[in-house]
């Protein structure tokens, strides 16, 4: 239990009662109360104790931790920053210092965030921008499959909000034909083992989208017509990632293929895939195979594609 959970569970609670539960002095309680006030909580102090006045949609590590329903191995530590260049770069630095699996960094705003193939990623305040440090015991060539199944976790989470989404291969999540989330998986590996994986996830939640992306992106706020509690969303998503990650590490990828293909965008439609080196393959999107490769029916027969950017073919 943390101090916030205690304050939330009682109408009024004295400093000594909080101190007893947490095993700390009244002075230490006072210090923590001040920290909470500094990050935006309204707390009234009187001779009887402390009262939490309101905490409408605050987003910080206390809120995230207090909304996790059970301990998660993918979220042992969560750190929240008001601003960072990139959560991805920050977690990669920790990975290099041999931090353990389950370290998560969340930022309100990123000033130098990036997506796949180092594309610029827009990260205004109000979105959900975070990176997770993972150390799965899988072969390096399995890592790209992990990226695919993270999009399933996102899809399942959006379903909890009654939002239907599709997965645009390889790991973009779309709602109403527009991108709501993107996933970036980077790793360091030896020939036959992974040192670390950093999975970066960006989700448009309450953030205002830049004008130039208005036609291709969408936020959850826009879809639902209301603000969404990001700590709640993140806690839900992390629980889904934990389940998927455990299943994947214990059982493998095959169990996810059907669910992935069931939710894949532009299925049986003509698509083109650009491998980033000016090689473009066009054909009918037949979904992924058991290795996560995209099967495309081209004019010269079936092709299996490992990576690239997929676009719906426009005539």
Binder to ligand BTN among 55, 86, 170, 207 (CB under 6 A)?
Answer: 86
Binder to ligand BTN among 32, 113, 122, 207 (CB under 6 A)?
Answer: 113
Per CB under 6 A, does 200 bind ligand BTN?
yes
Residue 129 Cβ vs ligand BTN, minimum distance, rounded to whole Å: 4
Per CB under 6 A, does 63 bind ligand BTN?
no
Spell 82-91 as b/e; 16+ CB within 10 A means b: eebebbbbbb
Per CB under 6 A, does 114 bind ligand BTN?
yes
Residue 85 Cβ vs ligand BTN, minimum distance, rounded to whole Å: 8
| 116/221 with CB nearer ligand BTN | 116
Task: Give the three-class secondary structure for 210.
Answer: coil
| 104/223 with CB nearer ligand BTN | 104
E-assigned strand segments in 12-102? 42-46, 49-54, 77-84
Q: Judging by DSSP bridges, how do beta strands 280-288 and 309-312 pair with one another?
A: unpaired
Per CB under 6 A, does 308 bind ligand BTN?
no
| 12/306 with CB nearer ligand BTN | 306
Per CB under 6 A, does 274 bind ligand BTN?
no
Per CB under 6 A, does 236 bind ligand BTN?
no
* Token duo for residue 216: 């291709």
Per CB under 6 A, does 110 bind ligand BTN?
yes
Question: Which residue carries 């590590």 as its tokens?
Answer: 61
Residues 148-187 as x/- pattern, contact with ligand BTN by CB under 6 A? ------------------------x---------xxx---
Binder to ligand BTN among 202, 283, 292, 308 (CB under 6 A)?
Answer: 202
Per CB under 6 A, does 59 bind ligand BTN?
no
| 32/217 with CB nearer ligand BTN | 217
Report which secondary-structure segment, H or E, holds 167.
Answer: strand 166-168
Residue 113 Cβ vs ligand BTN, minimum distance, rounded to whole Å: 3
Per CB under 6 A, does 217 bind ligand BTN?
no
Binder to ligand BTN among 50, 62, 80, 129 (CB under 6 A)?
Answer: 129
Using a 10 angstrom Cβ sphere, with 0-12 exposed, 13-18 middle and 19 or more buried, the burial of residue 5 is middle
Enumerate long-range contacts of 42-47, CB under 8 Å, 24 or more apart.
43/7, 46/12
Whole-angstrom Cα distance, residue 31 to residue 47?
A: 17
| 52/146 with CB nearer ligand BTN | 146
Task: Give the three-class secondary structure for 235.
Answer: helix
Half-sphere exposure (CA, 13 Å, Cβ side) for 184?
23
Per CB under 6 A, does 204 bind ligand BTN?
no
Enumerate long-range contacts of 213-221, CB under 8 Å, 24 or more apart.
213/122, 215/178, 216/178, 216/179, 217/178, 217/179, 217/180, 218/175, 218/176, 218/178, 218/179, 218/180, 219/127, 219/180, 220/158, 220/161, 220/163, 220/175, 220/180, 221/126
| 106/305 with CB nearer ligand BTN | 106
Q: Judging by DSSP bridges, how do beta strands 49-54 and 166-168 pair with one another?
A: unpaired
Binder to ligand BTN among 42, 82, 93, 119 (CB under 6 A)?
Answer: 119
Per CB under 6 A, does 131 bind ligand BTN?
yes
Whole-angstrom Cα distance, residue 114 to residue 89?
A: 9
Interface contacts to ligand BTN, rule CB under 6 A: 86-88, 110, 113-116, 119, 121, 123, 129-131, 172, 182-184, 200-202
């Amino acid at each position: 239990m943390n101090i916030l959970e205690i304050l939330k569970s009682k109408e009024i609670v004295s400093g000594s009662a909080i101190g007893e539960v947490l095993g700390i002095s009244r002075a230490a309680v006072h210090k923590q109360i001040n920290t909470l006030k500094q990050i935006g909580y309204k707390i009234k102090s009187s001779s009887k104790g402390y009262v939490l006045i309101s905490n409408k949609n605050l987003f910080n590590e206390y809120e995230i931790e207090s909304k996790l329903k059970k301990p998660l191995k993918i979220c042992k530590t969560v750190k929240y920053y008001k601003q960072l260049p990139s959560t991805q770069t920050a977690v990669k630095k920790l990975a290099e210092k041999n931090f353990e699996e389950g370290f998560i960094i969340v930022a309100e705003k990123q000033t130098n965030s990036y997506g796949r193939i180092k594309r610029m990623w827009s990260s205004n305040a109000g979105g959900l921008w975070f990176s997770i440090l993972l150390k799965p015991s899988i072969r390096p060539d399995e890592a790209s499959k992990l990226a695919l199944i993270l999009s399933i976790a996102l899809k399942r989470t959006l379903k909890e909000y009654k939002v239907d989404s599709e997965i645009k291969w390889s790991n973009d999540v779309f709602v109403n034909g527009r991108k709501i989330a993107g996933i970036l998986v980077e790793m360091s590996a030896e020939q036959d083992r992974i040192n670390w994986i950093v999975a970066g996830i960006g989700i448009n939640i309450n953030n205002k989208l830049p004008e130039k992306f208005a036609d291709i992106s969408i936020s959850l706020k826009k879809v639902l017509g209301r603000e969404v509690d990001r700590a709640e969303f993140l806690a839900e998503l992390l629980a889904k990632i934990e389940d998927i990650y455990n299943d994947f590490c214990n059982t493998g990828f095959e169990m996810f293929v059907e669910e992935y293909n069931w939710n894949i965008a532009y299925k049986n439609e003509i698509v083109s895939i650009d491998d980033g080196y000016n090689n473009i393959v066009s054909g009918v999107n037949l979904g992924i195979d058991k290795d996560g490769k995209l099967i495309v029916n081209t004019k010269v027969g079936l092709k299996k594609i490992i990576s690239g950017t997929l676009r719906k073919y426009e005539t």
